[in-house]
Amino acid sequence: MTGFRDFLARFRPAASPGRAAPGGVPTDRSAELRAELAPPLSRLEQAEAEARAIRERADAAAASLRHEAERQAEAIAAEAREEARRVRTRTAERVLRAAQDEASALLAAAEREALAVRDRGRARTPVLVERVLALVREDLRADEAPPAPPDGRRSPGLRDRPQEGGP
């Protein structure tokens, strides 16, 4: 609702005094402002709609790029896992070959050492056999002839036995 002051403002002269003008119609300022601002506001609405469309296209493009990047990342990771498996297999084969080579070398060295021990044993056996035989013969000779007691005494084992005609 308009106030009394606004009501009186309608009857104020719009121009300098001069000849009489036909009666004026009160002006509607809000309508004038609307008419003045309508074209820029409609262009602004169009710009907002364009910006909204651009943002939606950018969001769709970003989602597509993200999806493509995720797919590429998964492909790269799968390829890396496969390559890691191949590297592990090759490394295991190399380590196994190295271990087999080392085992073969150790086995060959052990066989050479065993052969050397066998040869040393064969070379030493006749000498050792002669020594053992000499010791056995000596022991056998010692058992056959007990030493005679000196001064006609009896051997210590007979001393404690009672003699036949006894004391």
* Statement: residue 108 has pLDDT above 80: yes
What are the DSSP calls for the chain, one per residue? ---HHHHHHTTS-SS-S-S--PPPPPP-HHHHHHHHHHHHHHHHHHHHHHHHHHHHHHHHHHHHHHHHHHHHHHHHHHHHHHHHHHHHHHHHHHHHHHHHHHHHHHHHHHHHHHHHHHHHHHHHHHHHHHHHHHHHHHHHHHHHSPPPPGGGPPPHHHHTSPPTT--
* Statement: residue 167 has pLDDT above 50: no
Quote the percentage of the chain above a pLDDT of 90: 55
* Statement: residue 152 has pLDDT above 60: no
| Residue where the block lists tokens 């492909």 | 75
d(Cα 52, Cα 57) in Å, to the nearest integer?
Answer: 9
pLDDT grade, residue 12 (50/70/90)? Answer: low
Q: What is the pLDDT of residue 166?
A: 45
* Statement: residue 112 has pLDDT above 50: yes
* pTM summary value: 0.41
Q: What is the pLDDT of residue 36?
A: 82
